[in-house]
Amino acid sequence: MTQHFDIIVIGGGPAGVAAAIRGVQLGAAVGLVEKKHWGGFCLNRACVPTKLFTATLERTKTIRTAAKMGFPNAAATLDPSALFKLKDELVGYFSMGTQGLIKAKKVTPIQGLGRLAGAGRVAVDEKIYQAKAIIIAAGADWARPSFPGSELEGVINSSQFLKEGRIPPRTLILGGGAWAVELGQFLNACGGQVMLAVRERGILPHFDQEIGQRLRSILKSSSITIHNSCSIVSLVKDRGGLKAILSVKEKEEAHLFDRVIYLDRTPALDGLGLETVGLSDLSTNDRLATKVPGIWAVGDAVGRIPFQSHRASAMGIIAAENALGASISFNDNIVPRVAFTSPQAASVGLTENEAEEAGYDVVTGAASMGTSPMAMIQDATNGVVKVVGEKKYKELLGVHVLAPFATEIIGAAALAIQMEATLEDLARSVLPHPTISESLADAARNALDWAIYIP
């Protein structure tokens, strides 16, 4: 007998779980299909394990600078096996927690490979389910590079690195995005030699240009090699490692590595059965509906870069509401971008370049971490808080942070933009001292030409 649901969600990651729970909250019968790992890519192979490593990086830095704080005998010696064991324990704990949450929220879990099987029909392995609405939250898969030699052992993605459980002595990381920098800084702190092969747009390409430039300087000061406009010409086995011929600004260089790590991903559309309903991709309108009535798409499967689990969750909630009769638009402009680098980077709204390209008469203001008491206490004075606004009406367009705790304070900035706050609103906000967050007000005052604590 065919089982019927109001909504079937394909994919048990952040987007799918949020969509399923929200659907049940609104009175719907919801089935949630997951082929393998409850919690999705973020929990099992990205956010949780990689942020454990960035936390380890910060602890390593704290120990190495402890002498300045009165601890002359502190020493940092990392036991990788203990760290990777803790990673497995945390992933297992949160995966079990996700399964428990799904059941507690009265979502029906369906284990297996889900695919579309015609209008209002989802096949899971050999069983057919019917639903009034289908939300596709299938996530993304690794996109293996295609340069000569990319098939060699030692060319791995970050999931495979996590499984290996060891620190390579020499690593080439392809890319300059958040994951690339986070991983590069961690391996560097563990004593490994690290090179970032960065494409045209540089470090943290989805952030304000000033943030990327400042972080690049920090990386170089820690002996991480960065090559812009860099690609791999070829890769061969050599002397127990991988010899890479790199094209760096149209000049070729040879380097030897133990691991080449790639981080690109692509929407996981293979085997979804899109053709059974007349879809060739998962492009959506602002309400997250696909071209086919009754089918919505959310999260990484939609292909909006950078992939972020908090964006995916927000999309899942809105898709469920719209599937049950609402008409809510998803606003990508209020989604924060974060990088758990050292120092952390966080951004929301328009960058300075984006605002100018959109036709705004732009005004900016910045507060350097060099004048922040908390940044000095944290020994991280090379960052900045920057605001972007519209000159005439003082609309707050964007906030960009490179500083300790940036990923924590960006939430307030996101709410300010969502509530259509002005530079004046932010400038007159009363923020605690001494904190990094008080630099939000300082930067806004600077944009309005009445900075108080900026020389």
> Residue 8 — very low, low, confident or very high, per pLDDT cuts 50/70/90?
very high
pLDDT at 423: 99
pLDDT number for residue 60: 86
| Residue 409 binned pLDDT confidence (cut-offs 50, 70, 90) | very high
Average pLDDT, the chain: 94
pLDDT score, position 239: 82
Please give the biggest Cα pair distance in the chain. 74
pTM for this entry: 0.94
3-state secondary structure the chain: CCEEEEEEEECCCHHHHHHHHHHHHCCCCEEEEECCCCCHHHHHHCHHHHHHHHHHHHHHHHHHCHHHHCCCCCCCCCCHHHHHHHHHHHHHHHHHHHHHHHHHCCCEEEECCEEECCCCEEEECCEEEEEEEEEECCCEEECCCCCCCCCCCCEEEHHHHHHHCCCCCEEEEECCCHHHHHHHHHHHHCCCEEEEECCCCCCCCCCCHHHHHHHHHHHHHCCCEEECCEEEEEEEEECCEEEEEEEECCEEEEEEECEEEECCEEECCCCCCHHHHCCCCCCCCCCCECCCCCEEECHHHHCCCCCCHHHHHHHHHHHHHHHCCCCCCCCHHHCCEEECCCCCEEEEECCHHHHHHCCCCEEEEEEEHHHCHHHHHCCCCCCEEEEEEECCCCEEEEEEEECCCHHHHHHHHHHHHHCCCEHHHHHCCCCCCCCCCHHHHHHHHHHCCCCCCCC
Q: How far apart are CA 316 and CA 9, in angstroms?
A: 10
- Whether 74 shows a pLDDT value over 80: the answer reads no
Q: What is the pLDDT of residue 211?
A: 97
Q: Which residues contact 221 (CB under 8 A, 6 or more apart)?
A: none
* pLDDT above 70: percentage of residues in the chain: 100
Domains of the chain: 3-142+266-333 (3.50.50.60), 155-263 (3.50.50.60), 343-447 (3.30.390.30)
> Catalytic amino acids?
433
State the residue for tokens 């190495």.
64
Residues 6+ apart with CB under 8 A from 49: 87, 90, 91, 162
Nearest to 299 by CA among 315, 285, 287, 288: 315
- The lowest-confidence range among 3-12, 20-29, 102-111, 246-255 is 246-255
- The yes-or-no verdict on residue 244 having pLDDT over 70 is yes
Structure confidence at residue 371 (pLDDT): 94
**How high is the pLDDT of residue 64?**
81
Q: pLDDT confidence of 123, banded at 50, 70, 90?
A: very high
Rank 39-53, 228-242, 385-399 by mean pLDDT and report only the highest.
385-399
Residues 6+ apart with CB under 8 A from 223: 188
Helix axes 47-64, 80-104, angle to 10 degrees: 140
Mean pLDDT of 342-364: 98
pLDDT mean over 127-156: 96
pLDDT at 79 over 90: no
pLDDT at 399: 99
Number of Cβ atoms within 10 Å of the Cβ of 105: 16
**Half-sphere exposure in the Cβ direction for 149 (13 Å, CA):** 17
- pLDDT at residue 76 above 80? no
Q: Can you state the angle between helices 309-323 and 14-25, rounded to 10 degrees?
A: 30
Residue 395 and residue 412: Cα distance in Å, rounded?
Answer: 16
Euclidean distance between CA atoms 346 and 337, whole angstroms: 6
Over 70: is that where the pLDDT of 301 sits?
Answer: yes
Average of per-residue pLDDT across 255-274:
95
- How far does the chain reach from its first CA to its final CA, in angstroms? 74
User: Of 90, 49, 40, 310, which is closest to residue 186 (Cα–Cα)?
Assistant: 49
The predicted pLDDT at position 257 comes to 97
Highest mean pLDDT among 83-92, 155-164, 331-340: 331-340
pLDDT in tens, 370-381: 999 999 999 899
| Confidence (pLDDT) at 1 | 66
